[in-house]
Amino acid sequence: MNTKVWKVDKYVDNLENNPQVVDAANFLRDNEVVALPTETVYGLGGNATSDVAVAKIFAAKGRPSDNPLIIHIAEKKQLSTFVAEVPDKAEVLMEAFWPGPLTIIFKKKEGVLAESATAGLETVAVRMPDHPVALALLKSCGLPIAAPSANSSGKPSPTNAQHVLDDLNGKIAGVIDGGATGIGVESTVIDCTEAIPVILRPGGVTKEQLKAVIGEVRVDAALTDEAARPKAPGMKYQHYAPNAPLFMVSGTTQFLQSLVEEKRTAGLRVGVLTTEEQVDVLEADVVLACGKRAELETVATALYDTLRKFNLEQVDIIFSEVFPNEGVGNAIMNRLQKAAGNKLIAE
């Protein structure tokens, strides 16, 4: 398959009628799959009401069929077509964070969406992305769009169109190149089907922000206890992994440097994931700065691109600094832990 690339400037006016966007929307209406930029990561979109389109999403990514997709909408009124019930707290959350990086789980109305999109569950995950190109595409096609991150299953999520092509070129109808995404980690997933909402995946909206608008919020046990079974099926899979084994390292810079020396002496090509503050201090075969530690948002923005860069550098092993587990640091550490398969070396 020849994968089309539509270049779209997200700052131009009237994006909904932009010829490139309209062309991509027509592919979606024909049940083809198209990658699109959002404010978090690139998504691989397909008509959520079509089993044919949804099957193409799962096939292109090599995604396990028991892992449900997030349904993307441009307008709140679309909700009532496939959501059975909107609890008060969900209403408050939508008001505060939509459009934006918050995915809300609702009870599903049966018979509207493709069963495969929700992996046969009685609930459905929905979000309204805060990206002009994504919103224009959603409006232009007029469909609820199922869109997982547009990477091959297991790889780091894509934060630019080239990442999408590196994984899916030839496997999808097209990609809208709207530039690099901003937030860099996926949306927060919150289950609002329970009286006290539960965070299933940390992401772009922090726990602190959620608490500020709805009060008490729980966190799925699987996020802190490796043995617990996660409520979001996708959270059980190894994810975001670079090709070389990745180890998280906690302790001093000297300790990290000593680990590097040991592996280099053993003849390995060693990579280090650090931040701008330390990039000139550490020595290894490949030392990459992933944002600034003093501004954790910049670490989130750069994380997946940095993990992907290590693949281009052909390193044998990667040591990564760890980050404070608070605010957006919750999402960063969650992704880093998955990328590392939880391997941590503490001083």
Q: Give the interface with ligand TXA as residue ranges (CB under 6 A).
A: 38, 40-41, 43, 67-70, 101, 103, 105, 118, 121, 123-125, 127, 129, 147-149, 186-187, 189, 200-201, 231-235
Give the separation between CA 153 and CA 60, rounded to whole angstroms. Answer: 9
Strand partners, 274: 289
Q: Where do runs of H (alpha helix) occur along 247-323?
A: 253-265, 296-312
Given a contact cutoff of 8 angstroms between Cβ atoms, the answer to whether 145 and 2 are in contact is no
In terms of residues, how long is the chain? 347
Amino acid identity of 131? H
- Minimum CB separation of residue 158 from ligand TXA in Å reads 9
- The residue (of 126 and 249) whose beta carbon lies closer to Mg ion is 126
Q: Which one of the spans 74-82, 87-95, 146-154, 191-199 is the region binding Mg ion (CB under 5 A)?
A: 146-154
Contacts with Mg ion by CB under 5 A: the residue count is: 1
What secondary structure does DSSP assign to 2-46, as a single string?
A: PPEEEE--TTSS-GGG-HHHHHHHHHHHTT--EEE--SSS-EEEE
Per residue in 311-344, is it b (16+ CB within 10 Å) or e — as a string?
beeebbbbbbbbbeeebbbbbbbbbbbbbbeeee
- Minimum CB separation of residue 191 from ligand TXA in Å reads 7
- Minimum CB separation of residue 33 from ligand TXA in Å reads 13
Quick one: residue 105, left, alpha or beta (phi over 0 = left, psi -120 to 50 = alpha)?
beta
- Minimum CB separation of residue 317 from ligand TXA in Å reads 27
Q: Which one of the spans 22-30, 97-105, 147-155, 223-231 is the region binding Mg ion (CB under 5 A)?
A: 147-155
| Helix-strand-coil split of the chain, %, nearest 5 | 35, 20, 45
- The residue (of 209 and 278) whose beta carbon lies closer to ligand TXA is 209
- The residue (of 33 and 288) whose beta carbon lies closer to ligand TXA is 33
- Could you tell me which residues come within 8 angstroms of residue 300 by beta carbon, excluding any fewer than 6 positions away? 183, 184, 185, 204, 291, 328, 331, 332
- The residue (of 127 and 309) whose beta carbon lies closer to ligand TXA is 127
Query: 38 touches which of ligand TXA, Mg ion, none (CB within 5 to 8 A by kind)?
Result: ligand TXA
- Minimum CB separation of residue 234 from Mg ion in Å reads 6
Per residue in 14-32, is it b (16+ CB within 10 Å) or e — as a string?
ebbebebbbebbebbeebb
Q: Which of 31, 149, 274, 330 binds Mg ion (CB under 5 A)?
A: 149
Give the separation between CA 47 and CA 248, rounded to whole angstroms. Answer: 39
Q: In this structure, how many other beta carbons lie within 10 angstroms of the beta carbon of residue 7?
A: 11
- The residue (of 162 and 253) whose beta carbon lies closer to ligand TXA is 162
- Minimum CB separation of residue 108 from ligand TXA in Å reads 8
Token pair 């199922």: residue: 146
Instruction: Please report which helix (H) or strand (E) contains residue 163, including its range.
Output: helix 161-168
Query: 257 touches which of ligand TXA, Mg ion, none (CB within 5 to 8 A by kind)?
Result: none
Closest residue by beta carbon to ligand TXA: 234
- The residue (of 83 and 317) whose beta carbon lies closer to ligand TXA is 83
Query: 200 touches which of Mg ion, ligand TXA, none (CB within 5 to 8 A by kind)?
Result: ligand TXA
- Minimum CB separation of residue 28 from ligand TXA in Å reads 14
Query: 189 touches which of ligand TXA, Mg ion, none (CB within 5 to 8 A by kind)?
Result: ligand TXA
Q: Which one of the spans 42-50, 110-118, 141-149, 200-208 is the region binding Mg ion (CB under 5 A)?
A: 141-149
Q: Which residues sit at the interface with Mg ion, rule CB under 5 A?
A: 149
